[in-house]
Chains A and B, each alone.
Chain A
Amino acid sequence: NAGVMQNPRHLVRRRGQEARLRCSPMKGHSHVYWYRQLPEEGLKFMVYLQKENIIDESGMPKERFSAEFPKEGPSILRIQQVVRGDSAAYFCASSPGVVTTNEKLFFGSGTQLSVL
């Protein structure tokens, strides 16, 4: 059973370009979360999605950022017209929704976005 898969591992974009980050949750997990981690800072919640629904996007910047989790395929975090301040590690996590083992939130390895 593969873990949470994120790609790409590293993404370099120039200012003004679009960035697309992908996340495939663990098999059987229907809850997906996106977090952002700036250098030397903690994880900041961005958005919580279930299949075809955005449950909570209170952590998403009002402009340029969007997220989706379609019925088929991975969850996508999309950043339009990137700026240097968007440079960060973006982590995806998934959850089965209930505690079935001694864990509930499972993380991917992250995508390091660098904006030149």
Chain B
Amino acid sequence: KQEVTQIPAALSVPEGENLVLNCSFTDSAIYNLQWFRQDPGKGLTSLLLIQSSQREQTSGRLNASLDKSSGRSTLYIAASQPGDSATYLCAGEYNFNKFYFGSGTKLNVKP
């Protein structure tokens, strides 16, 4: 059974700090791993997608890595801002088009 775990469940940091969010998965036979952001009461916004053949993807201040052998992905946020406060979710795609979500990391960036 595929399971996706995110640690920590919550994180509070001062503005400007660099931070890392962790996502681990039990099955290394993953096709893609996608990171999302969810604001309170809103839907999910896609941030980055890493295909199984890739090791990392970058978009602005965000960098996501994927290590299939260890079953881990990380989302690195540089120079955090209060506007980055949200819940961050990772989702692993298995069996083509079947996605499993972690419970998320709730991030609070303090001004």
Contacts and interface: CB of A to CB of B under 8 A. Distances in A.
Interface in B32-72: 32, 34, 36, 41-46, 48-49, 51, 57, 59
A105 B102 contact: no
B74 interface: no
Interface string A84-116: 000000010101010100111111111010000
B101 A99 contact: no
Given A31-B97, A43-B89, A48-B97, A103 B102 contact: no
A116 B97 CA distance: 35
Contacts of A91: 43-44
A41 B100 CA distance: 14
Contacts of B32: 99, 104
A92 B84 CA distance: 24
B21 interface: no
A65 to B, nearest CB: 18
A33 B43 CA distance: 14
Contacts of B36: 107
A56 B93 CA distance: 14
A104 B43 contact: no
Contacts of B34: 103-105
B51 A99 contact: yes
A33 B99 contact: yes
